[in-house]
Amino acid sequence: MRFGVISTAKIGREDVIPGIQKSDHTVAAISSRSRERASDVADSLGIDSAFGDYETMFAEADIDAVYNPLPNALHAEWSQRAADHGLDVLCEKPLAVDTAEAADLFDYCADQGVALMEAFMYQFHPRTQRAREIVEEELGEIHTVDASFKFPLDDPDNIRLDPELAGGSLMDVGCYAVSAARGFLGEPNRAFAHTRDSWDSGVDTNLSGVLSYDDGRVASVSCGFDGPDRDYYRVETDDGWLEAPNCFGPEHDQSVSLTYSVDGREVTETFDPVDHYQLQVEAFADAVESGETPPIDRAETLGNMRTMDALARSADTGEPVDVAQPE
């Protein structure tokens, strides 16, 4: 698969493009609002073609698919424009600004006959898959899940603080915590959240939330741009627990671990370094080439967005909010 990349965003330059280049697939073109900037990045990363606008790349580049790491509020618009040219789309998370926009985007891409997948790279790390396997097969009934992703933000002009671009910690990193909780517990019934805007930016810079289930299980999720780096999830069961540190963004050359305890026996498993961006791209391309639905599918993306929408509404109203259930 030959990819065209929209923009010279850091996640593309440092993570996704190198991940594609490690695979059997290629980055054939990159575009930016600045042709000079696109050319500089293309030269530095060994990309054949550079374009000064996205639409021209869609029309003229020899590509099969587009990777879209634009700001959140632009994901749907430019993914649709790529679909108009018959290009499959791998789009950064969150796929859209809310559930309705995400559903419309899936419908649009289906009508255009192209594949669409939200880029949630951590789900392709072997540790994530092993953690879910352990909880399902080796531990007992889950009582609680605690998931958090925080990092310090020190730039007042960062796009993550721009409400016009659908910024905020829930959209940027809270989506990971929600995804992890749902990965173990499934779809919650209600959400309750509080937020803080420490930068007076118009978006949440910290969020703490509770996801509750009718059977009594509970997940706590938190995210933020203040304080030290922190990302983990912990699952508590009736006979033990599982915990994974640095679970969302390990470097491609970094080994990681998880620890679990069952009936008093504690086990730590270590995983060799892998590039989960490479694994994500390979899974997407394999699905497209075989005509299968990409592994992060409509149901998974909309489930995450419904929960995020409910957390955001709860923070706005100060009241618990029912999470919309799939139709």
Name all domains of the chain by residue range, CATH numbers in brackets: 2-119 (3.40.50.720), 123-275+294-322 (3.30.360.10)
CA–centroid distance for 202 within its chain? 22
Segment 129-181, tens digit of pLDDT: 999 999 999 999 999 999 999 999 999 999 999 999 999 999 999 999 999 99
Are the CB atoms for 168 and 203 separated by under 8 Å?
A: yes
Q: pLDDT by residue (tens digit) across 173-231?
A: 999 999 999 999 999 999 999 999 999 999 999 999 999 999 999 999 999 999 899 99
Give per-residue pLDDT as tens, 7-28.
Answer: 999 999 999 999 999 999 999 9
Long-range contacts of 255-260 (CB under 8 A, 24+ apart): 256/125, 256/127, 257/127, 258/127, 258/130, 258/131, 258/134, 260/134, 260/138, 260/139
Nearest to 221 by CA among 204, 208, 212, 237: 208
Percentage of the chain surpassing pLDDT 90?
A: 97
CB 91 within 8 A of CB 116: yes
The span from the CA of 87 to the CA of 114, in Å, is 6
- The pLDDT value recorded for residue 227 is 87
Q: What is the pTM of this model?
A: 0.97
